[in-house]
Structure 1
C-alpha cells in the first residue's frame, strides 16, 4: 500500500509535511531515530498529522524523500521539483505571494460594487423606486459576477468533500438570486467581498514587514583574497569566504571571527542596548552592527540561511497556525451550519412552503448576529483603545487579553528605556565627587557609547566644566585610556584596570556588591590609583511596579520576565519589581521556549516586547503586545496590539478594556441569538417573508450596534 505525503511548505532546508503516516507515535519515533543524523531540528503535531523539520546543508531534499520512501512506501502529491523554492523566493510555499495587479483589480471591483450599493440604497430608500431582483435583472447578474470568488472557494471545498460556510453561503446566495431575492443576495455578497479584501490586506502587510526585515541593505562587501581586501557584490559572497567588516558597517552574514576584535551592537538578536565585545572565535550574526573595531569573519551562512532569516521564517510559520480559540470557533461554525441546514429542511417539510424555508435559510445562513455580536463590541473597544494610544489589530486579540492568566515582559526597551542612568558614585581616598566626575567626563567626552553619553550629560547637569581638548583612546570591550595634564586616566571595567596593572583589591567588596545587584560598574583610575567608581542601571519606565501590582490584583496568575540580560542583572530586576519567574540570558529561541512552557501550565499567555529578538516569542504567545515608542518595525508588525506611548499603565487599561468588551459581547449574543430564534419561529409559522428575514437582520443590527457604541464613548474604560 502506498502512503500519500503532502508537501505543505518548503523554504530552503526547512520542510513541513502532512500525511496519515504522522498520526501515530510509533512512526514519529521511527522517523526521529532514522533521521537523527540528517535533521538539525524536528517537531511533530500528531493531531494535525504533520511534521516540521530542518536538515543539514550537505543533505539534499531528494535524499530525505528517498529514505522516507524506503521506510513507508510513499507517494508525493506535489512533485518535489515543483515544490522547491529558489534561494531568494518566499519563505513558505503555501503562502500566496502578493500580486499587485490582482490587488488593484480587486480594489477596483470593490469600488464598483460600492457605487452600485449606493445606487440601490438611494433608489429604494430616497427615491422610492423598486429595483427588479429577478435572476436576469441587473442586480441579479451583478450579484452572480460578484459572487465568483466565493463560488470558487465553495467549489474547492466541494472537491475535498467538505461542507463549510462557503458551501452553505454559496447555496443560499444562488437560491436567493434564482428565486427573486437578488437584492438581498447582493447585500450579503458585498459585505463578504469587503471582509475578504480587508483580510488579504492585513495578511500581505504583515508578510511584507517580515520580508523587509530580512532583506539587508548591504550591496557591496570586502573579502580577503591572498592577503588583499577586494570589494565584491554581496551576491558573489560564498561560504568560507573571509569577510572584512569595519566600524559603522552592518554585518551581512553569520560567521566566526578569525582575526580582530570589535564592539558589536547585537540588539536585533539579544535586545541589549549596549554593544558586546567580540574577538577571535566568537560568533557574529547577520543584521548586527560593528560599532567600533575591525574583524575578519569566516562566512558560515548567508541569505536565507542566516540566523535572523531562519527566525523570521519561524515567526511567519507560527503566525499561520490557528490558535485554540480559532479552532473552537471553526467547530462551532460547523455545528451552526448543520443546524441551519436542518432547520431549513425541517421548515420545508413541516410547512410545505418554499418561501418559509427560504426565509429560514436567509436567517440562518447569514452569520450577521454571531459576527456583529463580537465585532461591533470589539470595534467599540478598539475605538476606545485608539483614544488612549492602544492600537488593537483584531477582535480575538482584545478578547484574549482579558482571559489570559500569564503576562510575560521583555526588559530592555520594554520595561526600561535602554538609556543607562547613574545610580551610585563612590569615591576613595579623599577624592571628591566633582573631581571624579570631571576626570570621567573629560575622558569620555568624544566617546559615543551610551554610558559615556550618560556620564557627560550627568556632569553637565552638575555644572562641571568639561575640557574638550583631551585626547582619549577607546579600547573596545574595556573602556577608555586618556591623558589629562600629563597623567594617565583609565575609565572602564575591571579588565581594563587589570590590563594596566591597577589594583582594585582594597575595594573589591564594593565592586562585587554592585555587580551582584545587577548594575554596570565603571571604574575611574588616575595613574596607578583607583579614584572611585560609577554604577549604572537602565532607566525603568515610570509605573512599571504599579502595573505589575494592578495586573495581579485583577486576577492575573503569573507574571514573568523574559530577557537577554545576564542572570544576576535579570534576577535583581525581577526581585525589585515582584515578578513571579524570570528567564534570563535568553536568545529569541529561548524566549519562545519559555512561552511554550508557560502555555503548557496556564490558560492564555500574553507576551509584551519591543525588539526583533522578541518577535519569535511574540508569535508563539496567545496575544502579542508591542511597545511601539522606539520599538522595532518587526515587533510592531508581528504584534496583535501596539501600545504607542509605551506607558506600562496602558497594559492595565488594555486588560480592563478587554474585560468590558467581553461583557458587551455576551450581551450582544443574547440580542442576536434571541432575534434569530424569533425569526426561525416566525418562518416556520409562515409569518415571515424573505424580506422580513432581512428586516430581522436590520433590527438586531441596530440593537447590537447601539449596545456596542457604549464602549466607544466610555471614557472610563
Structure 2
C-alpha cells in the first residue's frame, strides 16, 4: 500500500498534514528540516495521529511549498487534499490505539520478573542467581538494554551530546561490562517504570477521547445498485447514499437525500430537544435517529467528519504544550546535568559504587519533574473534554485563567439561538402576506437565527414552497436574492444603504419597534421598501452569573461587540453590566477592536458564527460556542464549547487556576523528594533498589496528585 500525504486541513498560517507512514525518525527529520525554512514558526509531529502540524507566515511560505518540502524528503508519497473530490476515500484511524504503551507494559513486566526472580531466589532459597558476564541473566539484561543502548549511541554520535538516554545508556553499558548485571537491571527497571508512568498519563487522556469516539457507528447500510448493503464505516465513500433507521447512529456528515426523522443531536452539540430533519437538511456523524427513516448523501466520511476533526483537535492538544510544561522540560534537562555532577561528586567523595548508583537513580531520571506539569495538563484536558469543553492545547488551558478582558458576541452567544418575531410593520401599498412571502423566499436557505425566526413566522401563517435561483449573503448586513417575486433585499440599514434604498422615512417607526431591544430587518423588493420585521433574542440563562463571576475573578474589562445597532444592543448591555459596547460592527472591524484592546490587556473573544472568525483568530484566546456555532468558527477558536452553556467559561477559569495550583504542588513534591533521596544516597542510608523505589514512589505521588483533576467539578460561586 502506498502511503499518501494528505492536506487534512489548512487555514490562515496553519496546516495539518497526514502521512500514514510517519515514523519517529522521520518526525525528527521533518521537524528539523521545516524549522530551518524561512517563515515556518513551529512544527509538531503527532505520531499517534500520524499528523504534521505546521505554523507559518503566509507572506513568506505557503501550504503547497510546505507539502513539497515533505514530499522531497519522502518522494514515494503522493499528495492528496482530503475530501476534495466525490471519489475521496477517507480512512478513519483509531486515534486511541497506542501500541507504544502496550510494549512498555510488556517491557516493565519482563524486567520486574527478571529482577524479582533474582531477589526472591536469594531471599527465599538462599541461592544467588549468576550475574557474571555471559551468564543467562547477563544475556537477558543485555537484550532488554539493547533499545536504550542504540538510542544512547545515536544521541552521542549524531547529536554530539550526552542527555538522559546517553547518561543512562553509558551507566548500563559500564555495569554490564564490569559484570554488575544486577546494577544494570536495576537501572533498566527504574527507567522502564518511569516511561510506563508517562505512557499511562497519555493513555488515560486518550481514553476520555475514546469515550466520545465510541459515539460513531461501526457499520453503515449503503445503497449500491438499488440494494442496501452493510459496510464497515471506513469503506463508505463521499457521494454514497446511507440509510439510517430508528435507533441507528449516523456515520457520515451529509444532506438528507430522502425521508425525515427526529434526530438526537445531543452527543455532538448538547441540544436536549429532538430536532426534526427533512430533505435538504444537514446531519452529522455521531448523532442518531430517534424516530423515522432518512437517506443521507455522504459529503464527509471517516476522519473528515465534523466529529472526527474535533476529536483530532483534542488528540493534538496533548502535544501542544503549555508554557509551564515547557518550563518543566527545561528544568528536567537541567536536573539531568545536575544529576551528572552530583553522581560524579558522590563517586569522588565516597568511592562507593552503590552510593553513586543510588544518587544516579534518584537524580538522573527526572520523569517526576516532567510529569509535574504534563500529567496535570493532560488530566485537566481530559476532564474538560468529558464535560464538552474541547481545549486545543495546554497553552490555551493556562491562558484561560489569566485573561484580563472578555469580548462577547451577542446573537447566539449571550442570547439564545432561537429568536422570535415581535412585530411587523407594513409599508403603504403592501400586505402582511406579501411581505412575509418576499422575506421567506429570500431567507429560505439562510442559516442565521434571525432568518429562522422569519421563516418560522411565515410558515405559521401558511407561507411555504417559495424558490429562488440566486442568493448572496453579505456578512454583517443581510441577504440579496433573485426570487420568483423579483430581487428581494432583507437585512439591516447598512444593506439598504449599500443598494441605495431609502429608509429614513421609517426612522420613527423603527425607534418604536426597537424600544424592547428588538433588532429590525428591512424588507425591500426591487429597491422599494416593503416593510420591517422586528426580531428579538432572549438572553441565555446564567449570562448574568457569568458576567458577575468573571468580574469577581479579576477580569478588568467586559465588552459586548455586535453587528446589531445601538437601539438593539444597548438595553441588553446595560442590563448585564458590560463596561463597553461596540455596535454596528462588521466582521473585519471586530478583529480591529480586539487588536486595539490587546495593546492594554490580554483578550478573550467568545463567538459562535462565521462573522466571528477573524476576531476569534485575532484574540489571545478564542472560544467558540458549539451548539449554534459554525464549523469555521470552531476551527478558528482555541477552545470550543460543544454546547451553548456559557457557564462553562467559569468552570474553564476554575480549572485553569486549579491546574496551576496542582502543577506548583507537583514541582515541590518532585524537587523535594529528589533532594532528600540524593542526600540519603550520598550518606549510604538507602541502597540502589530503595533509591529506585523512591523514584517510582515520588513519580506515583505526582501522578496521584494530578489525577485529582480528573474529578474536579469547579468552585462554588455566589
Shorter-chain TM band? 0.5 to 0.7
Match of 1:240 in 2: none
Distance 1:421 1:713 in 2: 40
Distance 1:691 1:133 in 2: 18
- The answer as to 2:665 corresponding to 1:667 is yes
Does the 8 Å CA contact 1:172/1:365 hold for their aligned counterparts?
Answer: no
| 2:336 alignment partner, SS class | helix
Q: TM-score if structure 2 supplies the norm length? A: 0.55
Deviation of 1:331 after TM superposition, in Å, equals 4.4
**Cα 1:529/1:631, change in 2 over 3 Å:** closer
- The answer as to 2:115 corresponding to 1:118 is no
Does the 8 Å CA contact 1:514/1:521 hold for their aligned counterparts?
Answer: yes
Does the 8 Å CA contact 2:329/2:370 hold for their aligned counterparts?
Answer: no
- The answer as to 2:553 corresponding to 1:543 is no
Match of 2:305 in 1: none
Distance 1:503 1:613 in 2: 26
| 1:147 alignment partner, SS class | helix
Q: Map of 1:54-453 to 2, 5 A cutoff?
A: 54=59, 108=99, 110-121=101-112, 137=138, 139-147=140-148, 150-151=151-152, 154-155=155-156, 159=158, 164-165=163-164, 167-168=166-167, 170-171=169-170, 179=180, 180=182, 181-189=184-192, 191-192=194-195, 325=324, 328-378=327-377, 380-382=379-381, 384-392=383-391, 395-409=394-408, 414-415=413-414, 421-426=420-425, 438-445=433-440, 447-450=444-447, 451-453=450-452
Distance 1:51 1:685 in 2: 53
Does the 8 Å CA contact 1:609/1:627 hold for their aligned counterparts?
Answer: yes
Deviation of 1:678 after TM superposition, in Å, equals 1.4
> Pick from 24, 39, 46: which aligns with 1:16?
39
Does the 8 Å CA contact 1:490/1:524 hold for their aligned counterparts?
Answer: yes
Q: Map of 1:596-675 to 2, 5 A cutoff?
A: 601-602=600-601, 606=604, 608=606, 625-629=623-627, 631=629, 641-675=639-673
Deviation of 1:512 after TM superposition, in Å, equals 7.5
Deviation of 1:346 after TM superposition, in Å, equals 1.9
Name whichever of 645-654 and 134-143 sits farther off.
134-143
Distance 2:421 2:461 in 1: 18
Match of 1:522 in 2: 521
Does the 8 Å CA contact 1:399/1:658 hold for their aligned counterparts?
Answer: yes
User: How big is each residue's C-alpha offset from its partner over 1:584-630, in whole Å with a ceiling of 9 and x where there is no partner?
Assistant: 43449x84x8767666644x655545568877876776655443435
Distance 1:138 1:194 in 2: 26
Distance 2:581 2:170 in 1: 54
**Cα 1:548/1:83, change in 2 over 3 Å:** farther
Deviation of 1:352 after TM superposition, in Å, equals 1.8
Does the 8 Å CA contact 2:379/2:710 hold for their aligned counterparts?
Answer: yes
> Pick from 452, 462, 465: which aligns with 1:466?
462
Distance 1:404 1:622 in 2: 8
Does the 8 Å CA contact 1:427/1:531 hold for their aligned counterparts?
Answer: yes
| 1:448 alignment partner, SS class | coil
Distance 1:638 1:506 in 2: 41
List gaps (5 residues or longer) in structure 2: 1-30, 42-54, 83-90, 123-128, 210-315, 473-478
Does the 8 Å CA contact 1:392/1:642 hold for their aligned counterparts?
Answer: yes
Does the 8 Å CA contact 1:481/1:490 hold for their aligned counterparts?
Answer: yes
**Cα 1:530/1:561, change in 2 over 3 Å:** closer
Deviation of 1:365 after TM superposition, in Å, equals 1.5
**Cα 1:536/1:174, change in 2 over 3 Å:** farther
Distance 1:184 1:607 in 2: 50
**Cα 1:323/1:649, change in 2 over 3 Å:** closer
Distance 2:80 2:453 in 1: 44
User: How big is each residue's C-alpha offset from its partner over 1:347-371, in whole Å with a ceiling of 9 and x where there is no partner?
Assistant: 2222221221221121111223323
Match of 2:301 in 1: none
Does the 8 Å CA contact 2:438/2:525 hold for their aligned counterparts?
Answer: no
**Cα 1:467/1:375, change in 2 over 3 Å:** closer
User: How big is each residue's C-alpha offset from its partner over 1:408-438, in whole Å with a ceiling of 9 and x where there is no partner?
Assistant: 5566665566666435444678x9xxx9654
**Cα 1:85/1:175, change in 2 over 3 Å:** same
Deviation of 1:650 after TM superposition, in Å, equals 0.2
Deviation of 1:652 after TM superposition, in Å, equals 0.4
List gaps (5 residues or longer) in structure 1: 1-5, 19-49, 62-77, 92-99, 206-316
**Cα 1:412/1:532, change in 2 over 3 Å:** closer
| 2:349 alignment partner, SS class | helix
User: How big is each residue's C-alpha offset from its partner over 1:46-76, in whole Å with a ceiling of 9 and x where there is no partner?
Assistant: xxxx99673699xxx9xxxxxxxxxxxxxxx
Match of 2:680 in 1: 682
Q: TM-score if structure 1 supplies the norm length? A: 0.55
Does the 8 Å CA contact 1:492/1:524 hold for their aligned counterparts?
Answer: yes
Does the 8 Å CA contact 2:373/2:666 hold for their aligned counterparts?
Answer: yes
User: How big is each residue's C-alpha offset from its partner over 1:17-53, in whole Å with a ceiling of 9 and x where there is no partner?
Assistant: 89xxxxxxxxxxxxxxxxxxxxxxxxxxxxxxx9967
| 2:586 alignment partner, SS class | coil
Deviation of 1:444 after TM superposition, in Å, equals 4.6
Distance 1:166 1:146 in 2: 10
Distance 2:374 2:319 in 1: 22
| 2:655 alignment partner, SS class | helix
Match of 1:698 in 2: 696
Deviation of 1:692 after TM superposition, in Å, equals 0.9
